[in-house]
Amino acid sequence: MKRQLQSTPVLSSEITPKAVYFSRRDFIKAAGVTAGSLALASCAPSATQTALETRAAPIETAADELGDSVTPYNDITNYNNFYEFSTDKEAVAPLAASFTTKPWSVEVSGLVNKPKTYALEDLLKKFTQEERIYRLRCVEAWSMVVPWTGFTLASLLNEVEPSADAKYVRFESVYRPDEMKGQNSPFYVWPYQEGLRLDEAMHDLTLLATGLYGEPLPNQDGAPIRLVVPWKYGFKSIKSIVKIELTDKEPSTLWNTAAPNEYGFYSNVNPAVPHPRWSQATERRIGEFSRRPTLPFNGYAEQVASLYQGMDLSVYY
């Protein structure tokens, strides 16, 4: 039987309580020491030793709207794409450990009626924080299921009032090559930049995340504030944001600038469009042995496909 997608994200009441999923004792009582759990542990990334690894694995009872269990906390926080620190996914966590995230502010400007620079503390107080379980699909054909905490980007954009001419939203990450050694690489145009069409940015699924698993966002996962656009490949979900600008022109993005034949502006998850160097038809969920079929729009087609009605998504990839 074909499973039907829900039209609303998972709410905080449906996510495993923090006190439970951070308790190793409760985990052992609930799950037991079984061959299956040992097998799952053996296929997780061999993360570099950090303080984060002392946290217990979560009880995987929380699930997304397709019934897929959340990815263990230690995998989410020790297997990271964050080129500002390293191209080695398992090296990011230790390299990001001393990254400075306080104080932090986000400038919202461009084609808006009420431009403003927000201190992070003000954002956290002003906009309602929600917990949502979203899948994150990376272009390298691996994926995770993450319980994010954050608020809709639309709530922030509504506050600054986009002008009638605004068509796109441009995002920019912090630029600190002294702390983020990967920004010394000459292969990319720094700082990291990304962009969305305004209607994509205003969609209810589009989140500004400030935490995961009920805790503040770890440095290696994009602290203190990042974008999450769950129907697009993970590189669209820009990390450590300091600037949001509304514009009437399609903004340049880091990956589209670096390799336009491989990375388009839209970057919607589309299993029918292969990357030039590998197929996107299947993916491997972190913590699993086998591969699974990649879902169009990462499984969020019911909610977002209408945004692209009439577009050839093999051209506008």
Q: How far is CA 304 from CA 63, 263, 266, in A?
A: 21, 20, 13
Query: d(Cα 175, Cα 190) in Å, to the nearest integer?
Result: 7
Strands (E) located in the chain: 105-110, 116-119, 130-138, 142-152, 168-173, 193-197, 207-212, 215-216, 226-228, 241-247, 282-285, 292-293
Residues of the chain with pLDDT under 50: 1-60
- Angle value at C-alpha 17, between 7 and 72, nearest 5 degrees: 80
Q: What are phi and psi of 304, to 5 degrees?
A: -120, -10
| DSSP state for residue 304 in the 8-state scheme | H
Residue 50 is predicted with a pLDDT of: 36
Q: Is 77 helix (H, G, I), strand (E, B) or coil?
A: coil
Q: What are phi and psi of 194, to 5 degrees?
A: -140, 170
Residue 131 is predicted with a pLDDT of: 95
Residue 105 in tokens: 């502010």
Strand partners, 228: 207
- Alpha carbon 118 to its chain centroid, in Å, reads 21
- Alpha carbon 13 to its chain centroid, in Å, reads 21
Q: Is 270 helix (H, G, I), strand (E, B) or coil?
A: coil
Closest CA to 284 of 270, 294, 271, 275: 294
Burial of 5 (0-12, 13-18, 19+ CB in 10 A): middle
Residue 48 is predicted with a pLDDT of: 36
- List the domain boundaries for the chain: 99-307
Q: What are phi and psi of 37, to 5 degrees?
A: -70, -35
- Alpha carbon 185 to its chain centroid, in Å, reads 23
- Contact present, 219 and 226 (Cβ < 8 Å): no
Q: How far is CA 98 from CA 85, 138, 157, 265, in A?
A: 11, 26, 31, 32
The H-or-E segment that residue 74 falls in is helix 73-76
Tens digits of residue pLDDT in 241-272: 999 999 999 999 999 999 999 999 999 999 99
Residue 61 is predicted with a pLDDT of: 62
Residue 11 is predicted with a pLDDT of: 42
- Contact present, 214 and 131 (Cβ < 8 Å): yes
**Considering the domain 99-307, what is its CATH architecture?**
Alpha-Beta Complex (3.90)
Residue 43 is predicted with a pLDDT of: 34
